[in-house]
Amino acid sequence: MHEISLCESIREMLEDQAIEQRFERVRRIWLEIGPFSCVEPDALRFGFDAVMRGSLAEGADLEIVSAPGAAKCLNCGATVRVADRFALCPQCGHAALQVTAGDELRICKLEVV
């Protein structure tokens, strides 16, 4: 399951940050997920609890924040918000949108001890 490997990389990021920022435990973590990241929030929560067991983020609360998707139209140059990768440009109607944001999965905030 691809969410498990995502959780493993999150755990590694947390371990690195713990050393850099000198904290010992993570109480709560806010993850930002774009609409095109192909992440299933329920699977992510499930994987998160399992992967964080025994780590500095064991028992931490996971808050999932949805990030907006954005695209630029290669035909008219408009920058628009999109929820669908294959959407038509709302300005000119062309299928010329290039996605510029929405693939991300990132830690946006941590509550640590």
Does 79 participate in binding Zn ion (rule CB under 5 A)? no
Does 55 participate in binding Zn ion (rule CB under 5 A)? no
Decide whether 78 or 108 has the Cβ nearer to Zn ion: 78
Decide whether 44 or 89 has the Cβ nearer to Zn ion: 89
Of 10-18, 38-46, 71-79, 104-112: span binding Zn ion (CB under 5 A): 71-79
Q: Is 92 left (phi over 0), alpha (psi -120 to 50) or beta?
A: alpha
Does 73 participate in binding Zn ion (rule CB under 5 A)? yes
Q: Which of 38, 50, 65, 76 binds Zn ion (CB under 5 A)?
A: 76
Minimum distance of Zn ion from residue 95's CB (angstroms): 9
CA–CA gap between residue 108 and residue 113 (Å, rounded): 17
Output DSSP code: residue 91.
Answer: T
Q: Which 3 state secondary structure label does DSSP give 17?
A: helix
Element (H, E) at 3: helix 2-21
Of 9-17, 47-55, 60-68, 87-95: span binding Zn ion (CB under 5 A): 87-95
Render the burial of 40-63: b for 16+ CB within 10 Å, e for the rest.
eeeebeebbeebbeebbbeebebe
- Contact residues for Zn ion, defined by CB under 5 A: 73, 75-76, 78, 89, 91-92
